[in-house]
Structure 1
Amino acid sequence: MKVAKRWLVMSLILVLAVSLLTACGQSEQVPTDVAGESSAGDKETAQSTSSSEQEALTLPIVSEPITLKYFWTLDAKAAASMTSYDEVACFKKMEELTGINIEWIHPPTGQEKEQFNLMIASQELPDLVHWDWSTVAGGASKLISDGSIVKLNDLISKYAPNFTKLMEEHPDWRKEAILDDGSYYYFPFIREDELLRLSSGFQMRGDWLEKLKLEAPKNIDEWHSVLTAFKREDPNGNGQADELPFVAIGQSRVQYFEYAYGIMHNFYRDPNTRKIKYGPMEPSYKDYLTTMRQWYKEGLIDPDYAATDTKNFDAKVTGNKGGSYYGMLSGNMGRFMDLMKSKDSSFKLVGVPWPVGPDGKSYGPMAINAVQPVGTAISAQSKYQKEAVKWLDYCYSEDGKMLFNFGIENESYKMVEGEPVYTDAVLHNPDGLAVSDALIRYAMAVSNGPFVQDKRYYPQILVYPEQKTTLDIWINSCDPSLQMPPITLTEDESQRFASIMNEINTYVQEMFDKFVMGQEPLDNFDNYINTLKGMGIEEVINIEQTALDRFNARK
């Protein structure tokens, strides 16, 4: 999993490309539409078919304009400057190319799940529905049997040559994209490379480490030493013992230390037996709790972690009190460095590797699956299923990939030495938009959608060198062996799972805080395990194992 050399090559290519682009200035380039394709008025082929029975995808898709209704939650980055995806350049271009207009249905913020459930219950679905299908009660198979969404196999075999070719070239992606019975039910968002599958991890004040002549910790013992130094040696230099060595938004950010103990705070796959286990009932979970309790007692973990919201968390980091945390590469590290560059020139953040555990492994949360559970399904009631499949299939063509990752050539990107390079409209937006907020005005790479995310986009939006270095550190130290593939539960399994786990999740959350804060003695850990068993955790483990066995049997 060592990717430093590959990342270095990519970085050098990017630096060369940017240099060339800057040197060229406003040099003349032959205007094209998207990725070198001809104008939308010409009939063209945008695929290479793998079956003589498949229809070639020609543009425009329809001879007379039609409108498809599309349910899709508006990304917060888009909402910063737009009210609808109708304003995004890649979707505008899709209408021009295909002849198909999209009528967007964006549920109100905070009401997404409610609106989705009402839509399913009423059986009044728009033509297209973009959703995280892993969150659906009963799973996608229930929605197919209920007549909510359509099984796509026949439609794909007839009208989706690009998607078909992609699945044939990547059989592992196909295995992740289908249900246990081999049914296709959606057009998924696909992260093509491991560089795109890990965007968060441990971060630490690099200037504090330098001041105290310390190195970033590599295991739990070193973490304890560094946090203790942050607590006792006044790294913020104000003469007060006000440092908070590790800060977090709620217990979930503290629970990432569980990886060092070879477990996850959920169901995971044992790297040795390949069987399903539930982290919060494993013996090593007690060892983890013992450590967290010690850290909490010594003041190494923010005593208010359980009640800390995003606003308070930000204030602790930017207020020169928080010494380390678990956070996002852009949403935390990049944003904090933006906020602090004019306030404190010494402020520095560094990435910390995944801590090595007793077995010598440094487990972490890098996804093992390229195919994500979020994607677009087609309503069984739609009268435009063929046209919808063709519209979605274009997104998986090479031209579609360029469009959805980079936007419009000569507007949001230029081709330099054969590589797409974002322009100042994205990297130095004239309206002052952050890079991600600017990019989503043109393309969906910083969000998701029914397309393949291109690894070439990511290094360009990491503004600070520290972010690129941090990503290297995280990826090179991350062993993803605990991660689960995208299993699916049957309707009965899903209902039973929910009825048991709703109660268990509440209990485990309550007991976590009690154990860590010293409100519950760890001598009662066995009683805690027995309570979990009485609640039915072993039945749920069997449900998960059965689903994993079905996934492994997929062809």
Structure 2
Amino acid sequence: MKKKYVLIASLLMATSLLAACGSKEGSATQKENIKVEEKGMPIVKEKIKMTMMAPGLTKTEWEDLAAAKALEDLTNIDFDYITPPQTDFETKLNLAFASDELPDVIFGAGSSLLKNSVQSDQGAQGNLLALEDLIKEHAPNLNKILEENPEFKKSITAPDSHIYSLPRLYPEETSNPLYISPLWYNGEWLEKLGVKELPKNTDELYTLLKRFKTEDPNGNGKQDEIPLSDGNKLLIIRTWLLPAFGMKSQTIEEQDGKVRFAAMSKDYKEYLTFMNKLYSEGLLDKEVFSQSPDQFQGNTETDKVGLFSAYASYMATGKNPADALNDPMFQQITSDIQDTPLAPGHPRVGTGTFAITKKCPSPEAAIRWADYLYTEEGADLAGNGPEGAFWQYETNKDGEKVRVYVGEDKQKMEEDRGKIGIDYGLVTPGLQNDYVTSIRETADAPARSIWSEFQEKETKAKVTPYEEVPFPVVYMTKEETDQIATTSTDILTYVEQMEAKFITGVESLDNWDKYVKNLKGMDVDNYVKVYQQAYDRWAKAE
């Protein structure tokens, strides 16, 4: 078993890590001697070693992952793993930069652990390599995607016009990511009330919620119905109702090239007015700002809620997935100030997934290794591992050769996947592919679950056509990041607190001007200015 390195701030351990990662002279020598194959596998004919720093896993060790072993056999690149726990990863990574005890590559960190500002800073210092030329010359799969999707390239380009990390991509043809969990209608209530069409505007939504409250749709003879509720305070409801008033975000959003802080707009005031009306008439859950997830679940499982938040409706109601197909997804609605449906869209790109440091003995080999993950085969191997580890081929009743989960306990399928794939629970380089990563529970089970197909159909009909990204993924300079950090906590906390007060009536909307004045006193205008600068750079990037 490979040695598992752990970064510790001591001179003795630093010395051993220096030997593990390779000295500057050693790396330079290796770079001259490593011949990289430009096509096919393996990437190098003679096996080479590299060090990879990646967040520690919860279900197994990195060196035991079947997908990692298969990639080693396929590519001839053998990684030794430096795996701090996810909770300590950012600290250990910063220590590695400060001490110059760098791994060869950084994997699976994502922008939360390898922040965009850190990439820019460490790239400028030469600790992270600029990757754009390597991508053009040695990563044909990723390069093709970036050429066909220029917005992806913009979102991974730092302020100095270099690319310091590879992305996680969600192409439209292979994935259908929702911006956040949906809202779902209680289908049994709709049937009981004879509702044939879902609300298309705020007036129709209000009318339906009123019927939920007054017409006893759960049939127990009590007026205990909660028309609208959310298990995440107001996060999900807000996300899907703001667009009815012309907003894609509560805070920073871009409209026609201009950045604004939505929570101080007249549109937002109209949203608050509507939500206050729902709350004051008992149509919005009175406990929405204070209830625990368990309390919310208790209400949805006992048939007390008409419109509710959940990744899938059956997860909230406790139904069998097949019995939840009559719970329709919330349809985007309009209002007097927004006459066309609008929905927040997923930016379809994540950053910080794979970086190459100055210590890497062969950046060309490293980038080719990562580039394989931007193919369907590579994405599938990364997630599901090789045949025999998590899945095997079987023949179904129609004579088709299909891939089937090898475990006996189907309830442990996802747990077992976490012991196989290199992308489980991490933001990793490559393609999100909802189709090739599906493994059947049995040979005669459908390729995708009935619920998955239903949810995809609902999303494509009710969300996808109206999606607009609230704000693109952008890189900020260190100075910009520091400015945002100085004010963001106070601003965002104040907005959240005042939203609850305005909706519940604790604070009258007559005090709107005072609220806006307080935001300006928190320097919200400069907050917006910084985002505008970052957006302008993104828009001009090539």
TM-score under structure 2 normalisation?
0.79
For structure 1, list consecutive stretches of 5 or more residues without a partner in the other structure: 1-52
Distance in 2 of aligned mates of 1:255 and 1:409: 44
Q: CA deviation at 1:54?
A: 9.1
User: Is 2:294 the counterpart of 1:325?
Assistant: no
Q: Could you tell me whether the CA contact under 8 Å between 1:414 and 1:423 is conserved in 2?
A: yes
Matched, 1:213 2:197: no
Contact 1:409–1:415 (CA under 8 A) maintained in structure 2 = no
Q: Deviations over 1:172-221 (max 9, x none)?
A: 43233322433111121111117523263221111111111124322222
- Give a deviation string over 1:31-82, Cα, whole Å, max 9, x none: xxxxxxxxxxxxxxxxxxxxxx9950453334135242231364xxxx5xx3
Distance (whole Å) between structure 1 residues aligned to residue 394 and residue 258 of structure 2? 47
Within 2, Cα distance between the matches of 1:511 and 1:327? 25
Q: TM-score, normalised by structure 1?
A: 0.77
CA distance in 1: counterparts of 2:379 and 2:296, whole angstroms: 37
Determine what percentage of the aligned residue pairs are the same residue: 27
Which of 151, 154, 162 aligns to 2:141? It is: 162
Deviation at 1:513, TM superposition (A): 1.1
- 1:65-144 alignment, distance < 5 Å: 65-72=48-55, 74=57, 79=58, 82-108=59-85, 124-126=101-103, 127-133=105-111, 136=115, 138-144=117-123
Correspondences of 1:30-45 after superposition (within 5 Å): none
The answer on 1:262 being equivalent to 2:242 is no
Gapped runs of 5+ residues in structure 2? Answer: 1-34, 439-446
- Give the aligned partner of residue 461 of structure 2: 473
Q: Distance in 2 between the 1:159 and 1:458 partners?
A: 26
Equivalent-residue separation in structure 2 for 1:93 and 1:56 (angstroms): 20
d(CA) in 2 for partners of 1:236, 1:119: 59
Q: Give the whole-Å Cα distance in 1 for the aligned partners of 2:300 and 2:89.
A: 31
1:151 aligns with 2:130: yes
Maintained 8 Å contact 1:365/1:483? yes
1:151 partner amino acid: A
> For residues 102 and 355 of structure 2, what CA distance do their matches in structure 1 show?
11
Change (3 A) 1:393 1:414: same
Residues 436 and 446 of structure 1 are in contact (CA less than 8 Å); yes or no, is this contact kept in structure 2? no
Residue by residue over 1:364-421, the C-alpha shift from the partner in whole angstroms, topping out at 9 and shown as x without a partner, is: 1222x433235212233444544322321222245324433664458637699xxx99
TM-superposed deviation, 1:554: 0.9
Distance 1:462 1:175, change over 3 A: farther
Looking at structure 1, the residues matched to 325 and 136 of structure 2 have their Cα atoms a distance apart, in angstroms, of 55
RMSD: 3.4
State the shift of 1:280 in Å.
Answer: 0.3
- Of 374, 383, 387, the residue aligned with 1:396 is 374
Other structure's SS at 2:350 match: strand
The equivalent residue for 2:429 is 450
The match for 1:193 is 172
Secondary structure in 2 matching 1:288: helix
Identify the residue that residue 357 of structure 2 maps to in structure 1. Answer: 379
- Is residue 298 from structure 1 mapped to residue 276 from structure 2 by the alignment? no
Partners of 1:539 and 1:516 lie apart in 2 by: 27
Over 3 Å counting, the alpha-carbon distance change for 1:262 and 1:546 in structure 2 is: same
* AA matched with 1:524: N
Q: 1:469 to 1:480 in 2, by over 3 A?
A: closer
- Corresponding residue for 1:59? 41
Aligned to 2:374, the other structure's residue is in SS state coil
8 Å contact 1:341–1:347 — kept in the other structure?
no
- 5 Å-filtered alignment, 1:354-433, equals 354-358=332-336, 359-367=338-346, 369-383=347-361, 385-397=363-375, 399-404=377-382, 407-408=385-386, 412=391, 423-425=403-405, 430-433=408-411
Helix, strand or coil: the match of 2:410? coil
How far did 1:498 drift?
1.4
Q: Which letter does structure 1 place at the counterpart of 2:60?
A: T
Q: Which 10-residue stretch deviates more, 133-142 or 515-524?
A: 133-142
Q: Secondary structure, in 3 states, of the residue corresponding to 1:245?
A: strand
Is the CA contact 2:116–2:475 (under 8 Å) kept in the aligned structure 1? no
Query: Which residue of 1 is the match for residue 533 of structure 2?
Result: 546
In structure 2, the residue matched to 1:36 is none
Q: Select between 60-69 and 291-300 the one with higher mean Cα deviation.
A: 60-69
Q: Is the CA contact (8 Å cut-off) linking 2:116 and 2:352 kept in structure 1?
A: no
C-alpha distance in 1 between matches for 2:177 and 2:369: 26
- Tell me the CA shift for residue 512 of structure 1: 1.0
Task: Please state whether the residue corresponding to 1:376 is helix, strand or coil.
Answer: strand
| Per-residue deviation, residues 315-366 of structure 1 (Å, max 9, x unmatched) | 22223222222332xxx335346x3229x96895221111223332221122
State the alpha-carbon separation in 1 of the partners of residues 116 and 151 from structure 2.
Answer: 25
Distance across 1 between alignment mates of 2:214 and 2:485:
45
How far apart are the structure 1 equivalents of 2:85 and 2:448? Answer: 28
